[in-house]
């Protein structure tokens, strides 16, 4: 039986960067956002429900969801975000649980299974994991990195961060905190240490 490790953190905190380290070290990592995107693609379990609720204006000529448009809608409106949660929540949850169950039973490097799952705490996925690694950084730096990566204004970046659980709350629920306020090398060393601990904990 593999050990399941959830990797989480606020928007633009550095989860994908941690995942890149793990994957280049040969570990398998399931990406929850990617799974959600496949469910939202034409023919996927969520596509029809989103189409019926939001209408054709939210889809392009290829019938693909215009993600930035739906993102702008839900990040600026609490009610719209809650609605999207009720529309998608159950199906996403069932698929993530199924995938985790499958992976935990597979033969994997060092008996470790990782899932990159941004909304782990907000949507209460804690019980799926033996360990939870939180990628953390001060809000000022998070805003800077988010603005640079997504070409957002400071107000837009702050608004997105405000839709997520505060960092202090996440720290309380994490088993390991990876501080990403320094260089990539410093982050990588913390990942190595966390990996050694996870392997030794059996
Ligand atoms: C609204 C959508 C279509 C926007 O797509 P887009 O490609 O612009 O963003 P992407 O999916 O890459 O998400 C980027 C980041 O935004 C944050 N985020 C996404 N959804 C939410 C939300 N409902 N509340 C708070 N933060 C969110 C996460 O940090 C995520 O990593 C998409 O984010 C979505 O369907 N969100 C719901 C996802 C969900 O419920 N996932 C559950 C398992 S993590
Ligand atoms: N230690 C670091 N120093 C400088 N920039 C960094 C560092 N770590 C990550 N970044 C940059 O910050 C941005 C956010 O990192 P990354 O994409 O890994 O975050 P994420 O948590 O996966 O984001 P999201 O969940 O929003 O997709 C990226 O542009 C990345 O290159």
- ipTM, 2 decimals? 0.94
Task: Encode the chain (202 residues) as per-residue pLDDT tens digits.
Answer: 789 999 999 999 999 999 999 999 999 999 999 999 999 999 999 999 999 999 999 999 999 999 999 998 998 899 999 999 999 999 999 999 999 999 888 899 999 999 999 999 999 999 999 999 999 999 999 999 999 999 999 999 999 999 999 999 999 999 999 999 999 999 999 999 999 999 987 6
Report H helices in 5-152.
15-24, 32-40, 47-54, 67-75, 78-105, 139-150
Q: Is 102 helix (H, G, I), strand (E, B) or coil?
A: helix
CB 178 within 8 A of CB 187: yes
Tell whether ligand 1 has an atom less than 6 A from the beta carbon of residue 175.
no
Residue nearest to atom 29 of ligand 2 (CA): 149
Tell whether ligand 1 has an atom less than 6 A from the beta carbon of residue 81.
yes
pLDDT the model gives residue 202: 62
Tell whether ligand 2 has an atom less than 6 A from the beta carbon of residue 143.
no
pLDDT the model gives residue 200: 85
Whose atoms come closest to the Cα of 20: which ligand?
A: 2
**107 CA from centroid of ligand 1 (Å):** 30
- Strand residues in 21-79 grouped as ranges (E): 29-31
Q: Which of 114, 111, 115, 126 is nearest to 174 (CA)?
A: 126
At the topology level, CATH places domain 3-197 in Rossmann fold (3.40.50)
CB 18 within 8 A of CB 133: yes
Is 17 assigned to a binding site?
Answer: yes
Look-up: residue for tokens 């997504």? 150
φ, ψ for residue 201, nearest 5 deg: -70, -10
Q: Is the pTM of this model over 0.90?
A: yes
First to last CA, the chain: 10
Domain range annotation of the chain:
3-197
CB 194 within 8 A of CB 27: no
Give the position, in ligand 2's atom list, of the atom nearest the Cα of 149. Answer: 29
Q: Which of 126, 109, 123, 120 is nearest to 198 (CA)?
A: 109
């Amino acid at each position: 039986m593999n050990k399941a490790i959830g990797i989480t953190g606020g928007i633009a905190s550095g989860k994908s960067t941690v995942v890149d380290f793990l994957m280049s070290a040969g570990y398998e990592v399931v990406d929850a956002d990617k799974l959600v995107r496949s469910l939202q693609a034409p023919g996927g379990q969520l596509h029809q429900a989103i189409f019926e609720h939001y209408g054709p204006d939210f889809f392009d000529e290829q019938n693909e969801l215009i993600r930035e448009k739906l993102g702008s809608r839900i990040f600026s409106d609490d009610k719209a975000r809650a609605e999207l949660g009720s529309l998608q929540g159950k199906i996403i949850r069932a698929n993530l649980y199924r995938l985790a169950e499958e992976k935990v039973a597979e033969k994997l490097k060092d008996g470790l299974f990782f899932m990159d799952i941004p909304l782990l705490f907000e949507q209460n996925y804690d019980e799926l994991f033996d360990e939870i690694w939180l990628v953390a950084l001060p809000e000022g730096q998070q805003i800077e990195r988010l603005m640079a990566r997504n070409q957002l204004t400071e107000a837009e970046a702050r608004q997105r961060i405000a839709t997520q659980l505060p960092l202090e709350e996440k720290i309380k629920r994490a088993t390991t905190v990876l501080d990403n306020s320094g260089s990539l090398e410093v982050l990588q060393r913390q990942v190595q240490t966390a990996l050694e601990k996870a392997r030794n904990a059996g």
